A and B are shown apart, each in its own frame.
Chain A
Amino acid sequence: MIEKKQTSGDMATSKAEIPAVAGDKADSVPRNIRALIDALRQYPPFNQMDDRELITLLEKSTVEYFPANTIILSPEDGVPSRFYIVKKGHIAGERLMSRNGDVHPTFDIGPGACFPIAALLGERPTRTVHKALEDTFCISCDKEHFTHIVSTSRVFRDFCLRGISGLLEQVNRHVQAQAQFNLGDEYSLETPLQDYLHREVISCSPDTSVRQAVKIMDDRGIGSMVITDPMMTPLGIFTLRDLRHLVANPDARLDAPISEVMNRDPISLPSSATAFDAALVMAKHHFAHVLIADDARLKGVVSERDLFSLQRVNLVHVARTLANAPSVESLAEMQSDVALLIQTMIAHGASAEQINRIVSLLNDYTTRQVIRLAVKKIKHPDVEFAWLTFGSAGRREQTLLTDQDNGIIFKAADPEEAEQIRAGLLPLAQQINQDLDRCGFTLCQGNIMASNPKLCLSMDEWNLWFNQFIDAATPQNVLNSCIFFDLRTQWGPEHLAEDMFTNVRQRIKQNSIFQKMLAGAALESRPPLGLFKGFVTRKENGQEGVDLKTQGLTPFVDAARVLCLAHGLKPTNTLHRLRQLVRANVVEEKDADAWEEAYSFIQLLRLRHHLAQKSHGKALSNLVDPDDLNQLDERILKEAFRQAQRLQRKLAWNFQL
């Protein structure tokens, strides 16, 4: 042994020398620490951490004892200052429900379990009271040391960020903690519908009379009645709204069987679906009630009020109001509700992807209603046409900062007819562009708008446009035109664009030169990482920072687009594209997961950034100063950029660039 010849004086050397004796290190660890390491090794993530990492963890740790019933952590303590690993004993999590003051047990953890990871990472108080169920020993360290381990041990970091509940959710909680200030409602959008099944299931048979059914509803104080067969398979639903219509009808017979007036084939979700799923269904179909059924057996009903009991504005309500708005003015006024809603959604645990979907959904409602109103008001040729949207709207990746990228596609028999129809549609397009601008979708500076005659085209003209572009592309115009390949029909018949673009997709799939050019363009926006450790910042409008959109998101968006187009794959949403690429065996699942995570993180950071800017009354921008980020966000952002670099390397390799 090397150590033997050393004197104790020599032992007081700096840690820097330790790697030199790494081989002997395991032996030179005191036996009690060795024993703790062995004990920890029985549990993830410690079973994947090497000796050095575990020694580092334990080196600045302590062992603490908590007699049964000691409260170890509680929300009132503020941001927790220590990290704990259960060594022996059990710890229960208890959450006080604000609605009725009940204490809900949330978890029961034993040896090997770690807490409170989310609160430490989110730098917010824990939501749960952590109480020793029995006499318990914990290994603990302070927050700084925990952060140090998170940053130095990849395994531990992955465990903390992903292993438990996903990186996004962790960071999300941070966002929520900021947004949840006044909300106090314990339910989040991730709450499974299961949790809403606290009432007795009330249903009736199809031959029950309307009067009887309404009497039951009245007696039980419920707003809806589900009609089922004897096997409890839902056949229909009857709500108070239906009753209103019924009573307004002078011919209505209250003694008729309810099956005559019920809504048939009601939409149902499994009890494992989330509150978010239910809200989306309600928003999409303008229902106030969604059935919960497992294996076609009715389990209960969840209502809009159940989901949003405490909120002034909610998704279903906003979606309905947008879809029925009587004027552009009222649509414009509604947009502040949309912003408030997004904030609320974040507070209730929505992820970046969910927010993207909600914003896209609501923007679609606004756009469609704008178009519907304009179509009524403005004279236009009676032809089949559809409203297209490009770029982030086309990918359903919108956030609060949105400008217009749109076009029109219509059917025409020949070029002359196309010219005529165009002339007739352009005033309408002009009006729609203006109205959208009034609703907060700013006019596109590059004039990528339907009112631009070059973007109001017949199917043939679009086809020709794309084909010429593909054949005669230069690196520069490819760079500027990528967003056209992310197109989606926002209003009108979808088959027009679908038929047209199928040809285009086929053509790109066969044109390797164009693919190579697209790939080259995708490599233009480089993630802002320096050769060494730091970020490479840029200056925009006198501010310095990294651009989360062009430097962070664009590399992922562009790469996913090229890879999908090259393989003839249809999706336009970046996350859908990545998933589709896995299915098509173009990328490996674990790579796709990492990219998805990195992309989602940047998107969420951007969203958070926008919300903060909005609440300070600042103009929205994508520029973030890394110095303003907390340590953890900064590190994850670096890692996310590194993933972008990896994706770009793959792209370069695939297309031999």
Chain B
Amino acid sequence: MISYFQPLAFQFNTDRQSGNRMQNITSKWPPPEASTILNQIRWVVVDVETTGLNIRKDRVIAIGAVEIDQMKINLKQSFERVFDPGVDLEHENVLIHGLSPQELQQGTTPEQGLKDFLDFAAGSPLLAFHAPFDKHMLEKESKQWLGVSARLPCYDVADFCLALFPDLSKQLRGLDAWLEHFGLEASERHHATCDAMATAELALICLQKAYSEGIDTWGQLIDRISTATKLHRSRHTF
């Protein structure tokens, strides 16, 4: 499945043996400077669909991503790849990720798909809901297929929510609950690109809330998040 919206990254990605370049990208993929103004950050909001929830065994079968640039979701930069895993999958998961074996067979190779994604993301900080999972899967697959040890700067929108809507986060658990609360609906839940889009909308709400509370820089937001998560953890631990 190939995007009609050709990500700009495509334009540069004509040589197919860019393993070295990949190495460069991933090693030079620092988190944003603390002093960066929030509304000037280009974020890539990502969602991965996998064959299951076992982070060791399961595989990435789709990546969807959208770009937030200057506080707007830029539709031209919509990224969507389905991977052909090359092996038969257990069928029950079709029910969750909604991808049929035919769709998977028509997908790109994981190698190409990951390479396209890393080119698309091009050094921008990543956002995802329950990011540790997406981060882990992306890093694991990059290692396996591209041979690169990526350390992706991937931040959790769930943490954003916790930090900026502390009261709400006492009741709301999980992406669905947050989406429902804000009246957002993922058009097709568990479709990578649609989930990425919904997550991006949630991220915009958070970023605007931060802005309205006088949080201007990434450093300020990180501080707020770490305070909130510490508090949250302490509450849940004791």
Point out residues on A near B: beta carbons under 8 Å. Answer: 1, 3-4, 6-9, 11-12, 18, 25, 27-36, 38-39, 55, 58-67, 88, 135, 137, 139-140
**18 additional contacts, CB 8 Å, given A28-B2, A31-B80?**
A3-B2, A8-B2, A12-B11, A25-B4, A28-B3, A29-B3, A31-B193, A32-B64, A32-B75, A33-B5, A35-B197, A36-B187, A38-B187, A62-B75, A64-B73, A64-B204, A135-B183, A139-B75
Q: 30 interchain pairs (CB within 8 A)?
A: A3-B1, A8-B2, A8-B108, A8-B112, A8-B115, A12-B6, A12-B14, A29-B4, A30-B5, A31-B64, A31-B192, A31-B193, A33-B75, A34-B187, A39-B187, A59-B5, A59-B76, A61-B76, A62-B73, A62-B74, A62-B75, A64-B72, A65-B205, A66-B208, A67-B205, A67-B209, A88-B183, A137-B184, A137-B201, A140-B72
Tell me if B163 is interfacial: C-beta within 8 Å of chain A.
Answer: no
Count of chain B residues with Cβ under 8 Å from any Cβ of A? 47
Contact status A30-B80, CB under 8 Å: yes
Given contacts A12-B11, A36-B75, A38-B187, contact A30 B3 (CB under 8 A): yes
Interface residues of B in 178-200 (CB under 8 A from A): 182-184, 187-188, 191-194, 196-197, 200
Given contacts A1-B106, A39-B187, A62-B75, contact A31 B11 (CB under 8 A): no
Given contacts A30-B4, A32-B66, A65-B205, contact A8 B10 (CB under 8 A): yes
Contact status A32-B187, CB under 8 Å: yes
- Nearest Cβ in chain B — how far from A282, in angstroms? 51
Contact status B5-A12, CB under 8 Å: no
Q: Give how many A-B residue pairs fall within 8 Å (CB-CB).
A: 119
Contacts of A28 in B (CB 8 A): 1-4
Closest to B78 in A: A30
Contacts of A38 in B (CB 8 A): 187
Given contacts A9-B14, A28-B4, A30-B79, contact A65 B191 (CB under 8 A): no
Tell me if B27 is interfacial: C-beta within 8 Å of chain A.
Answer: no
Contact status A59-B183, CB under 8 Å: no
Closest to B185 in A: A88
Contact status B4-A55, CB under 8 Å: yes
Tell me if B216 is interfacial: C-beta within 8 Å of chain A.
Answer: no
Contact status A63-B187, CB under 8 Å: no
Nearest 10 A/B pairs, CB to CB: A35-B187, A62-B72, A63-B73, A32-B197, A65-B204, A30-B80, A30-B78, A3-B2, A32-B193, A31-B193
Greatest chain B CB density within 10 A among A7, A35, A59 is at A35
- Nearest Cβ in chain A — how far from B123, in angstroms? 19
CA distance A439 to B195 in the complex (A): 73
Greatest chain A CB density within 10 A among B14, B115, B116 is at B14
Tell me if B16 is interfacial: C-beta within 8 Å of chain A.
Answer: yes
Contacts of B122 in A (CB 8 A): none
- Nearest Cβ in chain B — how far from A1, in angstroms? 6
Secondary structure at the B interface, as helix, strand, loop or mixed, is mixed
Tell me if B212 is interfacial: C-beta within 8 Å of chain A.
Answer: yes
Given contacts A28-B4, A32-B187, A62-B73, contact A8 B209 (CB under 8 A): no
0/1 interface trace, chain B 112-135, chain A, CB 8 Å (1 if under): 100110000000000000000000
Contact status A6-B76, CB under 8 Å: no
Contacts of B212 in A (CB 8 A): 67
- Nearest Cβ in chain B — how far from A89, in angstroms? 8
Given contacts A8-B10, A12-B11, A55-B4, contact A32 B72 (CB under 8 A): no
Given contacts A4-B106, A11-B10, A67-B208, contact A58 B75 (CB under 8 A): yes
- Nearest Cβ in chain B — how far from A15, in angstroms? 9
CA distance A493 to B103 in the complex (A): 84
Tell me if B13 is interfacial: C-beta within 8 Å of chain A.
Answer: yes
- Nearest Cβ in chain A — how far from B116, in angstroms? 6
Interface residues of B in 1-26 (CB under 8 A from A): 1-6, 10-11, 13-16
CA distance A88 to B197 in the complex (A): 14
Closest to A39 in B: B187
CA distance A285 to B208 in the complex (A): 60
Tell me if B222 is interfacial: C-beta within 8 Å of chain A.
Answer: no
- Nearest Cβ in chain B — how far from A110, in angstroms? 12
Contacts of B192 in A (CB 8 A): 31
Closest to A88 in B: B183
Contacts of B191 in A (CB 8 A): 31
0/1 interface trace, chain B 50-90, chain A, CB 8 Å (1 if under): 00000000000000101001011111101110000000000
CA distance A35 to B201 in the complex (A): 14
Contact status A65-B208, CB under 8 Å: yes
Given contacts A30-B193, A39-B187, A55-B4, contact A63 B11 (CB under 8 A): no
- Nearest Cβ in chain A — how far from B59, in angstroms? 20
Contacts of B74 in A (CB 8 A): 62
- Nearest Cβ in chain A — how far from B195, in angstroms? 9
- Nearest Cβ in chain B — how far from A42, in angstroms? 12
Contacts of B11 in A (CB 8 A): 12
Given contacts A59-B5, A61-B75, contact A7 B16 (CB under 8 A): yes
Contact status A88-B194, CB under 8 Å: no
Interface residues of B in 132-167 (CB under 8 A from A): none
Contacts of A3 in B (CB 8 A): 1-2
Contacts of B108 in A (CB 8 A): 8
